[in-house]
Amino acid sequence: MRTFPIAVLAATVLALSSTLAQAAWVAVEGGVTAKPDDTNSTIEIIMLHCMDGPALDVYSRNDGAVLPDDGKEHVADYFYRKAAVRGVVDGMIFPLSAAGSDIAVVIFSEGTEAENYLAPLDPAFVRALVSGSQLTLAFDVTPDAAADGTPFETWATFSLRGAKPVIEAALGCL
């Protein structure tokens, strides 16, 4: 008799955790958004949407550049630079680049110097976002190294668990 209530509790917890993960990605007009699960940056939300293909925008607390959330003055010098931004999905590293807009940092895959290092998002990166379990966006903002020895000391992580149906439903450009 005791196994039934434990099994029911386990099933309920599993269903609730799946629902909470899906709630992490919210469909909005034109795309889907997610808030970081953990961050040491000013990132508040990201939005995955379609333009001329999949696009990823990062919205920061200061309506501008992503910066460390350490109370110090920083200059965002990662725009249009090679090897200054990266995405990591379940351990797979994707070199990224960033451009600024009025209120967001727009993420691109790393392109050539002739392209100002801005290329359309790599389809492999987009597929990883759809099928992965965790995304980390990391930026080289300061001269300091990250705990893992890389230059990407400013970061935010986002759960991708349960996000596949929300992302696929919102993005007709996949």
Q: What is the pLDDT of residues 54-100, one digit of tens each?
A: 999 999 997 789 999 998 988 888 999 999 999 999 999 999 999 99
Q: Is 38 inside a domain boundary?
A: yes
Burial class of residue 60 (count of CB atoms within 10 Å of its CB; 0-12, 13-18, 19+): buried
Length reported for the chain: 174
63: containing domain: 25-170
Q: In whole numbers, what is the pLDDT of the chain averaged over residues? A: 86
- Residue 19 dihedral angles phi and psi, to the nearest 5°: -65, -40
Q: Is 9 inside a domain boundary?
A: no
Residue 35 burial (CB count, 10 A): 16
| Region 6-34 average pLDDT | 59
Into how many domains does the chain fold?
1
Q: Is 13 inside a domain boundary?
A: no
14: region left, alpha or beta (phi > 0 left; psi from -120 to 50 alpha): alpha
C-alpha 89/C-alpha 125 separation (Å) is: 8
Q: How sure is the predictor about 18, in pLDDT bands with cuts at 50, 70 and 90?
A: very low
Q: Is 10 inside a domain boundary?
A: no
Q: Is 2 inside a domain boundary?
A: no
Radius of gyration of the chain (CA): 18
Cα angle value 50/28/90 (rounded, 5°):
65
Q: What is the pLDDT of residues 114-148, one digit of tens each?
A: 999 999 999 999 999 999 999 999 999 988 888 88
Q: Is 161 inside a domain boundary?
A: yes
Q: Is 8 inside a domain boundary?
A: no
Q: How sure is the predictor about 21, in pLDDT bands with cuts at 50, 70 and 90?
A: very low
C-alpha 51/C-alpha 48 separation (Å) is: 10
C-alpha 96/C-alpha 145 separation (Å) is: 18
